[in-house]
Structures are given as C-alpha cells and as structure tokens.
Amino acid sequence: MDLRKLKTLIDLVSESNVTELEITESDGKVRIVKGGQAGPVQAYAPAQASAVAALPQPTPAASAAAPAAEPQAAASGAAITAPMVGTFYRSPNPSADPFVEVGTQVKEGQTVCIIEAMKILNEIEADRSGTIKQVLVENGQAVEYGQPLFIIE
C-alpha cells in the first residue's frame, strides 16, 4: 500500500467517529486504531518491514466545539443516553420545533429526539418521567452508543 493511500486512511479515521479500521489487500494489511488517546497506526506487509505512524491528537479547539459529557453529566438527575451510534436531531424536520427544551415535562415513553442511523430515523423515548434539565448534544452532532443526550430530573 502506498504512503498516500495510508495517509488518506489515517486522515479519514482521525476526522470521523470510527475508532478502528482494518483493510487487507494483496500487497499488505493495514489496521488503524483510534482510542481516547491517539494510538499507533500499524501497517503490515507480507515479509516486509512494518510502518508505524501516530494519529494526530485532537486540537483543543476541536475538543471545545463538542460538549464534554463528563462535566455536564455531573448535574443532578439521570441521563437519557443514546441507544445507538448515529446523528442526533432535536426535531422531526429542520423547520419544526424541537421535541423537548430545557424545562419541558416529559412522560416515560415520550419522544425526546431522533437518531439517524444507516438512513433510518429512530425516535428516542424518555425512559422515565421528569423535567429536562440539560440538553447535552447539539443538533446534527454525531453521537456514540451510551453517550448522554439529556439530563432529566
């Protein structure tokens, strides 16, 4: 595998929510793993030397753009978490009002947002009754499985 293709793969993984990518071709095998801290990228070629490169660390500006779940989850109340990986939407369409706002009273089973996964819009329901105290995710943001979306009291 040539270095340009390897660099492109590294850039794609570092800019996406993908945490691991493995590609096998006739001329070698590449496995790119990205964790909380940038991990090594390993390229394997049959009976040839290995190439190792480090993924770039996220910049502080990029980290500041996404809300940090840990400090916000410290608020009193329980979290409504993402049951899947996908794109978070607060309303059924761009021109509609959000399903819930801070201060909205919700009942168990009430739709609070939508997560789009594989071109399917999945309505996410409140798992308990209460009041929305915080919205932890921006509209259109990618979310991970188990990521807190709302704080409900």
pLDDT tens per residue, range 58-97: 555 444 444 444 444 445 789 999 999 999 999 988 899 9
Identify the domain boundary among 44, 62, 80.
62
Most confident among 2-16, 39-53, 56-70 (mean pLDDT): 2-16
Same domain as 52, residue 34:
yes
pLDDT tens per residue, range 68-79: 444 444 457 899
Q: What is the pLDDT of residue 33?
A: 78
Is 9 in contact with 3 (CB distance < 8 Å)? Answer: no
Tokens of 41: 């990228």
Same domain as 21, residue 34:
yes
**Taking 90 as the threshold, does the pLDDT of residue 136 lie above it?**
yes
Structural domain range at position 142: 66-152
pTM: 0.51
Please report, for the domain that includes residue 80, its CATH number: 2.40.50.100
Is 34 in contact with 14 (CB distance < 8 Å)? Answer: yes
**Taking 70 as the threshold, does the pLDDT of residue 38 lie above it?**
no
Q: Specify the number of domains making up the chain.
A: 2
Q: What is the pLDDT of residue 16?
A: 77
Q: For residue 13, name the pLDDT band (cuts at 50, 70, 90).
A: confident
Distances, alpha carbon 74 to alpha carbons 47, 71, 138, in Å = 51, 5, 18
Same domain as 51, residue 79:
no
Closest by alpha carbon to 20, among 1, 36, 35, 37?
A: 35
